[in-house]
Protein backbone atom coordinates (compact mmCIF):
# COMPACT_ATOMS: atom_id res chain seq x y z
CA UNK A 1 0.00 0.00 0.00
CA UNK A 2 1.54 3.28 -1.15
CA UNK A 3 2.05 6.37 0.95
CA UNK A 4 -0.63 8.25 -1.03
CA UNK A 5 -3.33 6.07 0.54
CA UNK A 6 -1.97 6.85 4.03
CA UNK A 7 -2.03 10.58 3.26
CA UNK A 8 -5.55 10.41 1.83
CA UNK A 9 -6.69 8.68 5.02
CA UNK A 10 -5.15 11.40 7.20
CA UNK A 11 -6.61 14.13 4.98
CA UNK A 12 -10.08 12.59 5.16
CA UNK A 13 -10.07 12.24 8.96
CA UNK A 14 -8.66 15.76 9.36
CA UNK A 15 -11.33 17.21 7.08
CA UNK A 16 -14.07 15.41 9.01
CA UNK A 17 -12.77 16.73 12.33
CA UNK A 18 -12.54 20.29 10.97
CA UNK A 19 -16.08 20.11 9.62
CA UNK A 20 -17.31 18.91 12.98
CA UNK A 21 -15.36 21.70 14.69
CA UNK A 22 -16.79 24.38 12.36
CA UNK A 23 -20.34 23.12 12.86
CA UNK A 24 -19.91 23.20 16.65
CA UNK A 25 -19.00 26.87 17.10
CA UNK A 26 -19.89 26.75 20.77
CA UNK A 27 -17.05 24.26 21.25
CA UNK A 28 -14.51 26.92 20.24
CA UNK A 29 -15.88 29.58 22.59
CA UNK A 30 -16.37 27.21 25.52
CA UNK A 31 -12.73 26.12 25.18
CA UNK A 32 -11.70 29.77 25.61
CA UNK A 33 -14.11 30.68 28.42
CA UNK A 34 -12.60 28.27 30.97
CA UNK A 35 -8.96 29.45 30.75
CA UNK A 36 -9.96 33.11 30.38
CA UNK A 37 -12.03 32.81 33.55
CA UNK A 38 -8.94 31.64 35.43
CA UNK A 39 -6.75 34.26 33.78
CA UNK A 40 -9.01 37.23 34.42
CA UNK A 41 -10.96 36.42 37.58
CA UNK A 42 -9.09 33.87 39.67
CA UNK A 43 -5.62 35.21 38.90
CA UNK A 44 -6.69 38.65 40.09
CA UNK A 45 -7.72 37.21 43.43
CA UNK A 46 -4.68 34.95 43.87
CA UNK A 47 -2.11 37.52 42.74
CA UNK A 48 -1.65 39.04 46.17
CA UNK A 49 -1.89 35.77 48.08
CA UNK A 50 0.58 33.77 45.99
CA UNK A 51 4.09 35.15 45.75
CA UNK A 52 6.29 33.34 43.23
CA UNK A 53 10.03 33.00 43.68
CA UNK A 54 12.52 32.84 40.83
CA UNK A 55 12.35 29.26 39.55
CA UNK A 56 13.29 27.81 36.17
CA UNK A 57 12.54 28.68 33.44
CA UNK A 58 11.92 32.20 34.77
CA UNK A 59 14.87 34.54 35.23
CA UNK A 60 13.06 37.07 37.38
CA UNK A 61 9.98 37.48 39.52
CA UNK A 62 6.78 37.00 37.55
CA UNK A 63 3.09 37.67 38.05
CA UNK A 64 0.68 34.88 38.80
CA UNK A 65 -0.97 35.38 35.40
CA UNK A 66 2.34 34.72 33.69
CA UNK A 67 2.90 31.58 35.71
CA UNK A 68 -0.47 29.93 35.08
CA UNK A 69 -0.51 30.70 31.34
CA UNK A 70 1.23 27.42 30.27
CA UNK A 71 -1.09 25.47 32.53
CA UNK A 72 -4.13 27.15 30.97
CA UNK A 73 -2.79 26.33 27.50
CA UNK A 74 -2.61 22.68 28.52
CA UNK A 75 -6.06 23.02 30.07
CA UNK A 76 -7.45 23.69 26.59
CA UNK A 77 -5.68 20.59 25.27
CA UNK A 78 -6.99 18.51 28.17
CA UNK A 79 -10.63 19.43 27.68
CA UNK A 80 -10.35 19.05 23.90
CA UNK A 81 -8.80 15.62 24.25
CA UNK A 82 -11.57 14.43 26.54
CA UNK A 83 -14.29 16.04 24.43
CA UNK A 84 -12.93 14.29 21.34
CA UNK A 85 -12.97 11.03 23.27
CA UNK A 86 -16.66 11.69 23.92
CA UNK A 87 -17.18 11.99 20.16
CA UNK A 88 -15.47 8.60 19.76
CA UNK A 89 -18.03 7.03 22.11
CA UNK A 90 -20.80 8.71 20.11
CA UNK A 91 -19.31 7.52 16.79
CA UNK A 92 -19.07 4.01 18.17
CA UNK A 93 -22.73 3.97 19.13
CA UNK A 94 -23.82 5.48 15.80
CA UNK A 95 -21.75 2.98 13.81
CA UNK A 96 -19.32 5.38 12.07
CA UNK A 97 -16.42 3.99 14.09
CA UNK A 98 -17.05 0.54 12.67
CA UNK A 99 -16.96 2.02 9.17
CA UNK A 100 -13.61 3.65 9.91
CA UNK A 101 -12.12 0.39 11.17
CA UNK A 102 -13.14 -1.38 7.94
CA UNK A 103 -10.36 0.51 6.17
CA UNK A 104 -7.46 -1.69 4.91
CA UNK A 105 -5.02 0.65 6.63
CA UNK A 106 -3.66 -0.38 10.06
CA UNK A 107 -5.81 0.53 13.03
CA UNK A 108 -2.81 2.21 14.63
CA UNK A 109 -2.55 4.64 11.69
CA UNK A 110 -6.28 5.40 11.78
CA UNK A 111 -6.17 6.28 15.46
CA UNK A 112 -2.95 8.25 15.05
CA UNK A 113 -4.64 10.29 12.32
CA UNK A 114 -7.51 10.90 14.73
CA UNK A 115 -5.10 12.07 17.43
CA UNK A 116 -3.17 14.31 15.02
CA UNK A 117 -6.40 15.88 13.79
CA UNK A 118 -7.47 16.60 17.36
CA UNK A 119 -4.03 18.10 18.08
CA UNK A 120 -4.12 20.44 15.07
CA UNK A 121 -7.59 21.71 15.95
CA UNK A 122 -6.53 22.20 19.56
CA UNK A 123 -3.56 24.28 18.38
CA UNK A 124 -5.94 26.78 16.78
CA UNK A 125 -7.74 27.22 20.08
CA UNK A 126 -4.52 27.53 22.08
CA UNK A 127 -3.12 30.24 19.81
CA UNK A 128 -6.44 32.09 19.85
CA UNK A 129 -6.14 32.06 23.65
CA UNK A 130 -2.53 33.30 23.42
CA UNK A 131 -3.63 36.14 21.16
CA UNK A 132 -6.11 37.26 23.82
CA UNK A 133 -3.41 36.93 26.48
CA UNK A 134 -1.11 39.20 24.47
CA UNK A 135 -3.89 41.76 24.13
CA UNK A 136 -4.16 41.66 27.93
CA UNK A 137 -0.46 42.64 28.00
CA UNK A 138 0.77 39.46 29.64
CA UNK A 139 4.50 39.23 29.20
CA UNK A 140 5.36 36.48 26.70
CA UNK A 141 8.49 35.83 24.60
CA UNK A 142 7.44 36.09 20.97
CA UNK A 143 10.00 33.53 19.80
CA UNK A 144 8.63 31.12 22.37
CA UNK A 145 5.28 31.11 20.57
CA UNK A 146 7.00 29.09 17.82
CA UNK A 147 9.23 26.84 19.94
CA UNK A 148 6.27 25.80 22.11
CA UNK A 149 4.33 24.40 19.15
CA UNK A 150 5.97 20.90 19.06
CA UNK A 151 5.43 20.46 22.80
CA UNK A 152 1.77 21.47 22.42
CA UNK A 153 1.34 18.86 19.69
CA UNK A 154 2.97 16.19 21.83
CA UNK A 155 0.85 17.13 24.85
CA UNK A 156 -2.33 17.10 22.78
CA UNK A 157 -1.53 13.63 21.43
CA UNK A 158 -0.84 12.40 24.98
CA UNK A 159 -4.12 13.74 26.36
CA UNK A 160 -6.04 12.57 23.30
CA UNK A 161 -4.57 9.07 23.69
CA UNK A 162 -5.65 9.00 27.34
CA UNK A 163 -9.15 10.01 26.24
CA UNK A 164 -9.25 7.38 23.49
CA UNK A 165 -8.11 4.70 25.91
CA UNK A 166 -10.86 5.66 28.35
CA UNK A 167 -13.46 5.78 25.58
CA UNK A 168 -12.51 2.23 24.57
CA UNK A 169 -13.38 1.09 28.11
CA UNK A 170 -16.66 2.99 28.37
CA UNK A 171 -19.48 1.06 26.74
CA UNK A 172 -22.30 3.57 26.91
CA UNK A 173 -22.47 7.28 26.23
CA UNK A 174 -24.35 8.15 29.41
CA UNK A 175 -21.48 6.78 31.54
CA UNK A 176 -18.85 8.96 29.92
CA UNK A 177 -19.49 12.28 31.68
CA UNK A 178 -19.22 10.77 35.14
CA UNK A 179 -15.95 9.02 34.36
CA UNK A 180 -14.46 12.16 32.83
CA UNK A 181 -15.11 14.14 36.01
CA UNK A 182 -12.84 11.71 37.84
CA UNK A 183 -10.12 12.20 35.21
CA UNK A 184 -10.11 15.84 34.05
CA UNK A 185 -10.29 17.67 37.37
CA UNK A 186 -7.77 15.55 39.31
CA UNK A 187 -5.31 15.72 36.40
CA UNK A 188 -5.63 19.50 36.21
CA UNK A 189 -5.72 20.47 39.88
CA UNK A 190 -3.18 17.91 41.13
CA UNK A 191 -0.46 19.28 38.88
CA UNK A 192 1.82 22.29 38.50
CA UNK A 193 -0.67 24.08 36.25
CA UNK A 194 -1.91 26.48 38.93
CA UNK A 195 0.69 26.20 41.70
CA UNK A 196 4.46 25.51 41.72
CA UNK A 197 5.55 22.08 42.87
CA UNK A 198 7.56 23.55 45.74
CA UNK A 199 4.35 25.07 47.12
CA UNK A 200 2.69 21.69 46.86
CA UNK A 201 5.57 20.21 48.82
CA UNK A 202 5.26 22.86 51.52
CA UNK A 203 1.59 22.00 51.87
CA UNK A 204 1.85 18.20 51.78
CA UNK A 205 4.64 15.77 50.96
CA UNK A 206 2.32 13.06 49.66
CA UNK A 207 0.44 15.58 47.48
CA UNK A 208 3.78 16.63 45.98
CA UNK A 209 4.56 13.03 44.99
CA UNK A 210 1.09 12.57 43.54
CA UNK A 211 1.74 15.63 41.39
CA UNK A 212 4.99 14.06 40.18
CA UNK A 213 3.16 10.87 39.22
CA UNK A 214 0.63 12.87 37.21
CA UNK A 215 1.64 12.89 33.49
CA UNK A 216 -0.16 16.21 33.08
CA UNK A 217 2.38 17.83 35.41
CA UNK A 218 5.29 16.88 33.18
CA UNK A 219 3.42 17.99 30.07
CA UNK A 220 2.75 21.41 31.65
CA UNK A 221 6.40 21.80 32.65
CA UNK A 222 7.53 20.78 29.17
CA UNK A 223 5.30 23.46 27.63
CA UNK A 224 6.38 26.01 30.26
CA UNK A 225 10.10 25.54 29.51
CA UNK A 226 9.57 25.47 25.74
CA UNK A 227 7.67 28.75 25.92
CA UNK A 228 10.82 30.32 27.37
CA UNK A 229 13.20 28.66 24.88
CA UNK A 230 14.41 25.99 27.28
CA UNK A 231 14.36 22.20 27.06
CA UNK A 232 13.52 20.22 30.17
CA UNK A 233 14.94 16.84 29.18
CA UNK A 234 13.40 14.84 32.02
CA UNK A 235 9.86 16.08 31.32
CA UNK A 236 10.38 15.46 27.60
CA UNK A 237 11.39 11.83 28.18
CA UNK A 238 8.52 11.21 30.60
CA UNK A 239 5.99 12.81 28.24
CA UNK A 240 7.27 10.80 25.27
CA UNK A 241 7.12 7.54 27.21
CA UNK A 242 3.64 8.17 28.58
CA UNK A 243 2.41 9.23 25.13
CA UNK A 244 3.72 6.01 23.61
CA UNK A 245 2.24 3.97 26.47
CA UNK A 246 -1.27 5.41 26.17
CA UNK A 247 -1.17 5.31 22.35
CA UNK A 248 -0.47 1.58 22.56
CA UNK A 249 -3.31 1.13 25.07
CA UNK A 250 -5.68 3.11 22.83
CA UNK A 251 -4.81 1.00 19.78
CA UNK A 252 -5.18 -2.27 21.66
CA UNK A 253 -8.43 -1.09 23.21
CA UNK A 254 -10.20 -0.42 19.90
CA UNK A 255 -10.85 -3.96 18.76
CA UNK A 256 -13.60 -4.43 16.14
CA UNK A 257 -15.11 -7.36 18.08
CA UNK A 258 -15.33 -5.20 21.22
CA UNK A 259 -17.07 -2.44 19.30
CA UNK A 260 -19.56 -4.94 17.93
CA UNK A 261 -20.26 -6.35 21.37
CA UNK A 262 -20.67 -2.86 22.90
CA UNK A 263 -23.63 -2.01 20.65
CA UNK A 264 -27.04 -2.66 22.18
CA UNK A 265 -28.44 -6.07 21.38
CA UNK A 266 -31.43 -6.19 19.07
CA UNK A 267 -34.57 -7.79 20.49
CA UNK A 268 -35.27 -11.22 19.13
CA UNK A 269 -38.40 -11.72 17.07
CA UNK A 270 -41.17 -13.74 18.62
- 259 contacts 92 by C-beta, under 8 angstroms: yes
pLDDT of 164 reads 83
- CA distances to 69, 129, 130, 201 from 229, in Å: 15, 20, 16, 27
pLDDT of 47 reads 65
| CA neighbor of 58 nearest in space, from 139, 126, 136 | 139
Q: Whats the size of the chain, residue-wise?
A: 270
pLDDT of 267 reads 44
| CA neighbor of 39 nearest in space, from 165, 172, 129, 150 | 129
Angle at alpha carbon of residue 112, lines to 110 and 118, rounded to 5°: 110
In this prediction the pTM is 0.85
Parts of the chain with a pLDDT under 50 = 256-257, 259-270
pLDDT of 173 reads 63
CA distance 126 to 153: 11
Amino acid sequence: MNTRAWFICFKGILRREFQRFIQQRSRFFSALVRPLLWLVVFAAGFRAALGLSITPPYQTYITYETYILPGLMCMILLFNGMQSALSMVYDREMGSMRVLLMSPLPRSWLLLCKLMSIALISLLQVYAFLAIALMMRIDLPYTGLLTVMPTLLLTSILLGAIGLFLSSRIRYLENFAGVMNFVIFPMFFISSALYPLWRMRESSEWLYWVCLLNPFTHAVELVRHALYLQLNLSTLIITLLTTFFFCVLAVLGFRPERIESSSPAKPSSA
